[in-house]
Amino acid sequence: MFEAAEVGRTLSKKDFKQLEPEVHNLFLQLQRRLRESDKTLVVIIAGVEGAGKGEVVDKINRWFDTRDVQTHAYWDETDEESQRPRYWRFWRNLPMRGTISVMFGSWYTRPIVDRAFGKLDEAELDQQLKKISELERTLSDGGTIFVKLWFHLSKAVQQQRLEEDVKISKFKKSPLLEKFSKSYDKFAKISERALRLTDSGCAPWNIIEASDARYRDISVGNIVISALQEGLLSNEPENTKISETNTVEASSAIKNALASKSSTITVLDTIDLSQILTESDYNKQLDQLQLRLHKLAWQMYAEKRNALMLFEGWDAGGKGSAIRRVTSAIDARLYRVIPIAAPTDEEKGHHYLWRFWRHIPRAGYMTIYDRSWYGRVLVERVEKFAKPHEWLRSYQEINDFEEHLVDHGMALFKFWIHISPEEQLRRFKEREKDPRKQHKITDEDWRNREMWEDYKQAVNDMVAHTSTDRTPWTIVAGNSKLFARIQILETICEGLEKTLSTEKK
């Protein structure tokens, strides 16, 4: 999840100065429409210490007309509060229709902290998170628009801030920053679970890279604007929609500006595509890894453990040849490859996850998916086959699905094979020249290529929402096919060894 917020996004001072007035203006416009609606806006500010959450709260208060905005810091409890059921303090401060509440700290704080300090076990944490989901659904059904913001810093950046804090401005030193940075990894793991279990269609999470303050603030602006627009449109009569086209246009301008000026950087850009492997190194490693995999597959069979691998990636990224290097190492009785193309009639007649559930391997066997359920949040999103509320909902559906798999003790591998657009072009042209490969290149491939930036954003969001501690994505550096294959085989061998070393449930 968080890897998608460690890619180094920044925004220049000049761009910030240009964008901020537009954001400010849209905030005011949308606030006027909110005032006339029967909705409320709740902004939840959460995330790691040192990310500048306080500054964000200040910004939001500056951009909105503060008359209708209330900020509530949920920090230590008053005795009034601690003597009542836990959610009383939140209910008492819920905004009235037409108004806005900014929650600095929230119902997430205590479960996460309690779990980190061992006051809750995992099932109890899940129980708390279920209550939060229920609360958010109740409020959402009652007309609350949720904007949940999680501000993230990498461990290194947080550490750096801690040191800067000490050196530069003594008066700003936060005792919490020091306390929490010591258990960074523990908090990251628990927070990830909290986000994953409460990342619903009606109250989705937004993970924001917070190392650059200007990028952070404009991202917040952008997210709040989109959420308000969508939330306010949903139950307005048709004719009012038209009169609001100005706002919509203005806000897509911000989105585009932000995209062109900063966030073309995604998690994919953190992959070093220059990594290569010589033919002889490759051959040596390939032999070793395939032998290792061969043995591991039989061992999985013997211990009745199952495994599932899925491959996604750019067209011409080398999925097929990578899969062949995997399958040629495994006894043919032990695996099946399921290529995912257009669904059959029967598959179309079912929930989109049905076609994937049906091929789940049984104990001792492996299934390899060539493309997968992630089509829902990739091609179906980019090509607009699925509506936004449908693919947004899918993140949680997919996470739930994969949790069933790993709960069962299954080894799960998710590969995105990444190549540069230049490398793709080279391969496309090569395919066109080679009569044996011409069938592999179609008009669709060229069309998809034009949507490169859209796909890139979709991949980034996919990783942000679905790469969890238990179900991580592996982004493969694919410009060198040899390097990619070795990276994949190594990941699989290590993963299977890890699975075999843990007890089956």
Q: What's the one-letter identity of residue 172?
A: K
Closer CB to a second copy, 346 or 422, in the complex = 346
Q: Per the structure block, which two tokens stand in for 245?
A: 């086209």
Q: Which is nearer to a second copy, 6 or 403 (CB)?
A: 403
Kindly tell me which of 58 and 407 has the beta carbon lying closer to a second copy: 407
Q: How far is the CB of 5 from a second copy (least distance, A)?
A: 25
Q: Would you state the structure tokens that stand for residue 419, as one six-digit string?
A: 């190549």
Sequence-separated (6 or more) residues with CB below 8 Å from residue 69: 60, 61, 99, 100, 101, 102
Query: Mind giving me the DSSP string for 308-333?
Result: EEEEEESTTSSHHHHHHHHHTTS-GG
Considering the complex, state which of residue 337 and residue 360 has its C-beta at the smaller distance from a second copy.
Answer: 360
Beta strands in 225-334 (DSSP E): 307-313
Which residue lies nearer to a second copy by CB, 97 or 173?
Answer: 97
Q: How far is the CB of 262 from a second copy (least distance, A)?
A: 34
Please name the helix (run of DSSP H) or strand (run of DSSP E) that holds residue 483, with its range, or none: helix 481-501
In 183-325 the beta strands, taken as DSSP E runs, fall at: 205-209, 307-313
Shortest distance in whole angstroms from residue 69 CB to a second copy: 15
Shorter beta-carbon distance to a second copy: residue 58 or 124: 124
Amino acid at 17: K
To a second copy, the closest distance from the beta carbon of 161 in angstroms equals 36
Token pair in block for residue 23: 């954001």
Dihedrals φ, ψ of 24, to 5°? Answer: -55, -50
Q: Which is nearer to a second copy, 172 or 358 (CB)?
A: 358
Least gap, CB of 386 to a second copy (angstroms): 11
CB of 391 vs a second copy, minimal distance in Å: 12
Element (H, E) at 161: helix 155-167
The least distance separating a second copy from the CB of residue 293, rounded to whole angstroms, comes to: 22
Q: How many CB atoms lie within 10 A of CB 432?
A: 12
**With respect to a second copy, which residue has the nearer C-beta, 390 or 454?**
390
CB of 141 to a second copy, least distance (A): 6
R_g over Cα of the chain: 24
Name the strand (E) or helix (H) holding 218: helix 213-233
The residues near 77 (Cβ < 8 Å, ≥ 6 apart) are 89
Q: Which is nearer to a second copy, 408 or 426 (CB)?
A: 408
Q: Determine which helix (DSSP H) or strand (DSSP E) holds 242, and give its type and residue range.
A: helix 238-243
What does the alpha-carbon distance between residue 192 and residue 75 come to, in Å, rounded to a whole number? 21
- Give the nearer residue to a second copy in terms of CB position, either 175 or 349: 349
What minimum distance in Å lies between the beta carbon of 300 and a second copy?
13
d(CA 357, CA 359): 6
Contacts with a second copy, residue ranges (CB under 8 A): 79-80, 83-88, 91-92, 94, 96-98, 121, 123-124, 126-127, 130-131, 134-135, 138-139, 141-144, 201, 304, 306, 346, 349-354, 357-358, 360-364, 393, 396-397, 400, 403-405, 407-408, 410
Cβ atoms of 309 and 413 closer than 8 Å: yes
**Distance between CA atoms of residues 317 and 420, nearest Å:** 9
214-to-147, 174, 179, 185, 265 alpha-carbon distances in Å: 19, 22, 26, 26, 15
- At 119 the three-state DSSP class reads coil
3-state secondary structure of 323: helix
Q: Which amino acid is at 101?
A: S
Cβ 360 to a second copy shortest distance, Å: 5
